[in-house]
């Protein structure tokens, strides 16, 4: 199992903002990039097997949440301020983090029968108020970490429920297919987090596929962003923002616009738009609740053991067709999956 460090805000956005004419915005972005680089290096030197794995069999079933306050420092995890079943502290950030961990646990447990992130009742840990004006949130292989944002470009990172679900879903991928965080396998890793992050929000709100906004990070962008509604759109990749400060959303919806780059681990936050859109097409073609048939097919694919850690889009697409057949037979589910991958330019033989 490889060490993981996965952020919700991609580096291409922060690098763009770091060149902003607004010194305050530029400084917050530069600081965030430096902190992210340090965390990424630290995770690369971390043990490949987290310490909590050794005590997995001794854990009690059920959600076990702990919230820590870093108090605008960077030493993790920080001071414990709330454990499972504990009283609210009056800090809205803490309340949102606690609720978001619970909502993510509920989706995986109630819908897919998964006992927490690793399937073995792994405690869910989150640190809030990380650093000063930190414009990101991340999963570091063992816990969630949330920045407060700078208040102008990004707001508090606990505001969008799908951001919490997205980062915790990286943990599910880590403990299942362990998709390598580079190129197409890395884009699939990011896409799985967008898929399940969106499903966490839809499940919590009781939204059908037609009612959902299919946005990742709606409510996160601050007043300095004039033309933007979220970080990504699964419904229409490439349309989430087109702003003087953030730039233009670079995500492609199909392989015709696939971006070849060495930046961002081979464009993992960019080309994830292609499998994201495929999932959206499957979910809306099948209708109803996306966490049911569409989500079940994607979950079966992620956890079924057939994916290689360096799976590309074609391998993943074929695996989703196989998963649909295995669970539902040769029905509309298989047709919807095949049609969706064909529409984004990844046909399945």
Q: How many CA atoms lie within 13 A of 325 on its CB side?
A: 8
Beta strands (DSSP E) in 180-226 are 215-216
pTM for the whole structure: 0.94
Mean of the pLDDT values across residues 79-104? 97
Placement of tokens 């209708």 in the chain: 287
Task: Provide the pLDDT confidence category of residue 138 given band limits of 50, 70 and 90.
Answer: very high
How is 221-283 classified by DSSP, letter by letter? B-TT-SSBS-SEESSSTT-SBEETTTEE----SSGGGPPP-SHHHHHTTTTTHHHHHHHHHHH
12 in active site: no
Question: Which SS3 state, helix, strand or coil, does residue 215 take?
Answer: strand
To the query of whether residue 167 is one of the catalytic residues in this protein, the response is yes
Catalytic residue among 94, 142, 152, 167: 167
- State residue 349's pLDDT score: 78
Please tell me what DSSP assigns to residue 154. B
Output the pLDDT for position 34: 95
Rounded to an integer, the average pLDDT of 325-331 is: 97
DSSP string, 301-325: HHHSS---TT--HHHHHHHHHHHHH
Decide if pLDDT at 49 tops 70. no
Provide φ and ψ at 238, rounded to 5°: 100, 0
Q: How far apart are CA 16 and CA 246, in angstroms?
A: 6
Contact 210, 290 (CB under 8 A): no
- State the average pLDDT over residues 2-17: 88
Over residues 302-322, the mean pLDDT reads: 97
- The average pLDDT across 118-140 equals 97
- What is the model's pLDDT at position 52? 46
Predicted confidence at residue 60, as pLDDT, reads 72
- Statement: residue 167 has pLDDT above 80: yes
**Whether residue 250 has pLDDT greater than 50:** yes
Q: Over the chain, what is the mean pLDDT?
A: 94
Element at 331 (helix H, strand E): none
How open is the CA angle 63-120-109, to the nearest 5 degrees? 50
Which band of pLDDT confidence, cut at 50, 70 and 90, is reported for residue 5? confident
Amino acid 57: pLDDT: 52
d(CA 103, CA 194): 15
Which one of the listed residues 4, 170, 175, 269 is annotated catalytic? Answer: 269
**3-class DSSP assignment, residue 67:** strand
Whether the Cβ atoms of residue 225 and residue 242 lie closer than 8 Å to each other: no
Q: What is the pLDDT of residue 44?
A: 60
* C-alpha of 121 from chain center: 20
DSSP string spanning 116-140? Answer: STTSS-PPEEEEEEESSS---EEE-
Long-range Cβ contact pairs of 288-292 (< 8 A, separation 24 or more): 288/208, 288/209, 289/202, 289/203, 289/208, 289/209, 290/198, 290/199, 290/202, 290/208, 290/209, 290/212, 291/107, 291/111, 291/199, 291/202, 291/203, 292/111
In the chain, where are the structural domains located? 6-174, 183-343
CATH number of 6-174: 3.10.170.10
Question: What integer pLDDT is reported at residue 81 of this predicted model?
Answer: 98
Planar angle of CA 48, 296, 219, nearest 5 degrees: 75
Mean pLDDT, rounded, for 269-284: 98
How confident is residue 248, by pLDDT bands cut at 50, 70 and 90?
very high
Confidence of residue 54 (pLDDT cuts 50, 70, 90): very low
Q: Give the single-character DSSP code of 59.
A: P
Model confidence at 24: pLDDT above 80: yes
> Over 70: is that where the pLDDT of 2 sits?
no
For residue 58, pLDDT over 60 is answered with no
Beta bridge partners of 68: 80, 127
Residue 53 confidence (pLDDT): 46
Share of the chain above pLDDT 90, in %: 91
Separation CA 218–CA 144 (nearest Å): 19
What is d(CA 232, CA 249) in angstroms, rounded to the nearest whole number? 8
End-to-end CA gap in the chain: 31
Per-residue pLDDT, averaged over 160-171, amounts to 97
48 — pLDDT class (breaks 50, 70, 90): very low
pLDDT digits (tens, 9 = 90+) for 199-226: 999 999 999 999 999 999 999 999 999 9
CATH fold of 183-343 reads Neutral Protease; domain 2 (1.10.390)
Q: Pick the more confident residue, 239 or 57.
A: 239
Nearest Cα neighbor of 289 from 51, 59, 107 is 107
């Amino acid at each position: 199992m490889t060490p993981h460090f996965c952020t919700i805000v991609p580096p291409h956005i922060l690098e763009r903002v770091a060149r902003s004419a607004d010194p305050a915005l530029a400084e917050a972005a530069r600081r965030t990039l430096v902190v992210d680089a340090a965390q990424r290096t630290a995770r690369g030197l971390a043990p490949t097997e987290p310490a909590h794995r050794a005590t997995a069999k001794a854990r009690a079933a059920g959600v076990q949440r702990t919230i820590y306050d870093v108090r605008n420092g960077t030493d993790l995890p920080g001071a414990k301020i709330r454990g499972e079943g504990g009283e609210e502290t009056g800090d809205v950030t803490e309340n949102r983090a606690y609720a978001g961990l619970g909502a993510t646990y509920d989706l995986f447990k109630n819908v897919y029968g998964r006992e927490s992130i690793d399937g073995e009742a792994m405690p869910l840990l989150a640190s809030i108020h990380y650093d000063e004006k930190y414009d990101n949130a991340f999963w570091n292989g063992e816990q969630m970490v949330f920045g407060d944002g700078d208040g102008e470009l990004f707001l508090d990172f606990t505001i969008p429920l799908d951001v919490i679900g997205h980062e915790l879903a990286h943990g599910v991928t880590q403990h299942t297919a362990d998709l390598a965080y580079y190129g197409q396998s890395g884009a699939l890793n990011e896409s799985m987090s967008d898929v399940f992050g969106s499903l966490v929000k839809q499940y919590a709100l009781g939204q059908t596929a037609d009612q959902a906004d299919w946005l990742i990070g709606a409510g996160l962008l601050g007043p300095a962003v004039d033309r933007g509604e979220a970080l990504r759109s699964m419904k229409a990749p490439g349309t989430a923002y087109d702003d003087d400060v953030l730039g233009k959303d670079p995500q492609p919806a199909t392989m015709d616009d696939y971006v070849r780059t060495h930046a961002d681990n081979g464009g993992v936050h960019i080309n994830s738009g292609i499998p994201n859109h495929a999932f959206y097409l499957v979910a809306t073609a099948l209708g109803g609740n996306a966490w049911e048939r569409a989500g079940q097919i994607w979950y079966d694919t992620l956890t079924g053991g057939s994916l290689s850690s360096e799976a590309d889009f074609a391998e993943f697409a074929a695996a989703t067709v196989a998963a649909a057949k295995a669970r539902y037979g040769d029905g509309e589910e298989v047709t919807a999956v095949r049609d969706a991958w064909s529409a984004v330019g990844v046909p399945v033989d």
